[in-house]
Amino acid sequence: MAKRVLIIATDGFEQSELIEPRKALEAAGIKTVVASPKSGEIKGWNHGDWGKSVPVDADLDDVEAEDFDALMLPGGQMNPDVLRMDERVIQLIEDFDDAGKPIAAICHAPWLLAEADLLDGRTVTGWPSIRTDLENAGAEVVDEEVVIDDNFITSRKPDDIPAFAQALIDALEERGEVDEEDDEEEEDEEIEEL
């Protein structure tokens, strides 16, 4: 069964930070679902002006962490600033973390991890203007293209997208191998019982 990644975004998402990782995930055979507090379409931000619109696949109230293998949070300044005021968004982030599922956040999106109070003792990166906020939330902040700390994957900016997308794909593949091993163990146990 194909892995599924939930992408949460709203108007003002950094266009490249949603569209490019999504393409990479889908090219790797991973299904993506865009959920938003807004229905219909959401509009991206591209180089200082409004960019392309992306269809919204699901309402936030209709998605649950248990139905997905990972969460991806694109950046852009407006997008996470609006989303961090939405209780449902924060609850979903907490649910993914409680389940130990990968959460990938790029650029300004780690703001959402701070809002969910998940950064204490974690190592992350993000856009330079939010690094003090991340430190104030208890994180150790480093300046690297991709930082992996347990189930968190964070990156700084659009230039980091290839490494960011690959880290999320790798995390899903690792989880897939664990699932396959678990299935094999169950099959072995069933054979022994016969």
Alpha-carbon distance of 78 to 80, in angstroms, equals 6
Q: Which helix (H) or strand (E) holds 104?
A: strand 103-106
Measured from the Cβ of residue 90, the count of other Cβ atoms closer than 10 Å reads 18
- The alpha helices in the chain, defined as continuous H runs, are 15-27, 78-83, 87-98, 110-115, 131-136, 161-193
Q: Is 108 a catalytic residue?
A: yes
DSSP 137: T
Q: Is 84 a catalytic residue?
A: no
The encoded tokens of residue 133 equal 């906020």
| Catalytic residue, candidates 3, 108, 122, 131 | 108
Q: Token pair 């230039």 is at which residue?
A: 159
| Catalytic residue, candidates 71, 83, 104, 107 | 107
Residues with active-site annotation:
107-108
